[in-house]
């Protein structure tokens, strides 16, 4: 069994869905579990629905636009599939009905119930087209396998329960070779409520299924030919990282490399399942391999730039030392609001963190001000450089104000404006 993951960019329109089928035809003899994300910018559009719904605004026009675009793609790729069209319409009708109810007040719970629909819609369309193209397949609701806790928007996996649920997956698949189409990003808690794994969580979903099914490998199909030492869309003269270890990939993804979701690597490493990053636009491109072999790690400088950061400085009002008691309280407030700290540093009387600039972060600042003096810089960037050298650091920080700097033996990090 191989696990393939196709992101939103690969299935953003009818042409993308057809190209995905062309990729699969190159693996005609392999058993495949295919994890698919929501189409294009659907997740962003559904987030707008969530915020509008929870604020009491009218969102019917936003849902109608999504309905029209998805039904149009289905009609283009599988025009005769009446069953798929009926199922897709039913899903939109159910969403419309749920949006007529009074919001529960739990925004994160509403978020997961609504935003998860994007993956359901996309996989119904992909499964229908594969049948239309002569590729027999079974559509699987990932929520029947991926069991989680109820940490909405960043759910934690219940591995034991998920293993038990996954045991029946292959036995119920009638086609040979196996072709299972399922969703990334989503799961279900013990109460039967939909949960999500965090933005861009479909990579993690692929790793979850690979772990549960003892897969031979995972391949993430991207619009780039592999992992690079920097974002090739932002920097010229980037270099392909053709072969790196789990450890190095985990470091890069943790610091913000966008090619792989940070939680993807650990379950693969536990069962020594290799991860390949390949281009769905160019099957001949070499791609990147991530596995156990650390001797292949490149020491070429790799750098990640995270924009839209807040640098927040937190000081006790009485200028007492920042000690464990203060830090415990501060960390709890970040955790309770599901806000990730991207970088932290403390002095005698101040604790500084870099975090993404979101409404939640702004609200947390106001909450912290009840007990602390809080200052912040907005419009910052967080730059991380693995295997740094002076030339790379100079290039990245030239002409910018460095507000905070950290260095270890192999990594340098800067908050700049």
Q: What is residue 297's predicted lDDT score, i.e. its pLDDT?
A: 62
Task: State the chain's mean pLDDT as an integer.
Answer: 93
pLDDT at 296 exceeding the cut of 70: no
Q: What is residue 373's predicted lDDT score, i.e. its pLDDT?
A: 94
Q: Residue 74: enclosing H or E segment and its boundaries? A: helix 60-77
Q: How confident is the model at residue 233 (pLDDT cuts 50, 70, 90)?
A: confident
Q: What is residue 311's predicted lDDT score, i.e. its pLDDT?
A: 98
- Is the dihedral angle over the CA atoms 177, 181, 187, 190 positive or is it negative? negative
At 161-174, the pLDDT tens digits run: 999 999 887 777 88
At 119-132, the pLDDT tens digits run: 999 999 999 999 99
What domains, with CATH codes, occur in the chain?
2-222 (3.40.1160.10), 302-416 (3.30.2130.10)
pLDDT at 320 exceeding the cut of 90: no
pLDDT at 300 exceeding the cut of 70: yes
Pairing state of beta strands 32-36 and 179-183? Answer: parallel
Q: What is residue 263's predicted lDDT score, i.e. its pLDDT?
A: 87
Cis peptide before 349 (omega within 30 of 0): no
pLDDT at 197 exceeding the cut of 80: yes
**What is the C-alpha to C-alpha distance for residues 113 and 120, in angstroms, rounded to an integer?**
11
Q: What is residue 338's predicted lDDT score, i.e. its pLDDT?
A: 84
At 251-272, the pLDDT tens digits run: 888 887 777 877 899 999 999 9
**What is the C-alpha to C-alpha distance for residues 373 and 69, in angstroms, rounded to an integer?**
49
What is the share, in percent, of the chain residues with pLDDT greater than 70?
A: 99
Q: How confident is the model at residue 294 (pLDDT cuts 50, 70, 90)?
A: low
Exposed/middle/buried for 51, CB within 10 Å: 0-12, 13-18, 19+? middle
Q: What is residue 408's predicted lDDT score, i.e. its pLDDT?
A: 94
Q: What is residue 257's predicted lDDT score, i.e. its pLDDT?
A: 76
Q: How confident is the model at residue 295 (pLDDT cuts 50, 70, 90)?
A: low
Q: How confident is the model at residue 65 (pLDDT cuts 50, 70, 90)?
A: very high
pLDDT at 70 exceeding the cut of 80: yes
At 29-49, the pLDDT tens digits run: 999 999 999 999 999 999 999
**What is the C-alpha to C-alpha distance for residues 187 and 408, in angstroms, rounded to an integer?**
37
**Per mean pLDDT, which range of 21-35, 90-104, 179-193, 241-255 is the poorest?**
241-255
Q: Which residues pair with 278 in a beta bridge?
A: 221
Residues 6+ apart with CB under 8 A from 394: none
CB atoms within 10 A of CB 233: 10
Closest CA to 48 of 72, 73, 66: 66
Q: How confident is the model at residue 378 (pLDDT cuts 50, 70, 90)?
A: very high
| Average confidence (pLDDT) over 69-75 | 98
**What is the C-alpha to C-alpha distance for residues 198 and 209, in angstroms, rounded to an integer?**
17
**What is the C-alpha to C-alpha distance for residues 305 and 229, in angstroms, rounded to an integer?**
12
Q: What is residue 285's predicted lDDT score, i.e. its pLDDT?
A: 92
Q: What is residue 256's predicted lDDT score, i.e. its pLDDT?
A: 79
**What is the C-alpha to C-alpha distance for residues 308 and 158, in angstroms, rounded to an integer?**
33
At 338-376, the pLDDT tens digits run: 899 999 999 888 999 999 999 999 999 999 999 999 999
Q: What is residue 298's predicted lDDT score, i.e. its pLDDT?
A: 64
Closest CA to 185 of 115, 241, 134: 115
pLDDT at 211 exceeding the cut of 90: yes
pLDDT at 384 exceeding the cut of 70: yes
Q: Which residues pair with 40 in a beta bridge?
A: none
């Amino acid at each position: 069994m191989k696990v393939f993951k196709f992101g939103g960019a690969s299935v953003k329109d009818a042409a993308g869905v057809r190209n995905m089928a062309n990729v699969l035809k190159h693996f005609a003899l392999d058993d495949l579990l295919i994890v698919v994300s929501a189409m294009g910018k659907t997740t962003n559009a559904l987030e707008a629905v969530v915020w509008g719904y929870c604020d009491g605004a009218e969102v019917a026009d936003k849902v109608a636009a999504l309905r029209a675009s998805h039904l149009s793609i289905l009609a283009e790729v599988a025009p005769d599939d009446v069953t798929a069209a009926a199922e897709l319409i039913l899903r939109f009708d159910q969403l419309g009905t749920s949006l007529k109810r009074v919001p529960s007040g739990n925004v994160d719970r509403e978020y997961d119930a609504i935003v998860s629909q994007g993956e359901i819609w996309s996989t119904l369309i992909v499964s229908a087209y594969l049948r239309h193209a002569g590729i027999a397949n079974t559509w699987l609701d990932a929520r029947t396998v991926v069991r989680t806790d109820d940490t909405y928007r960043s759910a934690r996996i219940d591995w034991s329960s998920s293993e038990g649920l996954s045991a029946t997956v292959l036995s119920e698949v009638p086609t040979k070779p196996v072709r299972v189409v399922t969703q990334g990003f989503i799961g279900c808690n013990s109460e039967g409520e939909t949960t999500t794994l965090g933005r861009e969580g479909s990579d993690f979903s692929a790793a979850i299924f690979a772990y549960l099914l003892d897969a031979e490998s995972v391949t993430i199909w991207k619009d780039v030919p592999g992992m690079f030492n920097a974002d090739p869309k932002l920097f010229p003269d980037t270099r392909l990282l053709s072969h790196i270890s789990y450890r190095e990939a985990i470091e890069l993804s943790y610091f913000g490399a966008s090619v792989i979701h940070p939680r993807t690597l650990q379950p693969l490493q536990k069962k020594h399942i290799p991860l390949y990053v390949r281009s769905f636009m160019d099957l001949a491109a070499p791609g990147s391999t991530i596995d156990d072999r650390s001797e292949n790690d490149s020491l070429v400088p790799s750098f990640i730039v995270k924009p839209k950061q807040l640098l927040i400085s937190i000081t006790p009002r009485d200028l007492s030392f920042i000690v464990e008691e203060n830090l415990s309280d501060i960390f709890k407030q970040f955790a309770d609001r599901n806000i990730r700290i991207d970088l932290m540093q403390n002095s005698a009387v101040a604790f500084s963190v870099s975090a993404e600039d979101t409404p939640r972060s702004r609200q947390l600042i106001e909450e912290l001000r009840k007990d602390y003096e809080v200052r912040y810089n907005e419009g910052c960037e967080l730059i991380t450089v693995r295997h740094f050298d002076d030339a790379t650091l100079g290039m990245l920080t030239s002409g910018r104000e460095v507000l905070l700097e950290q260095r270890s033996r192999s990594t340098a990090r800067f908050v700049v404006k």
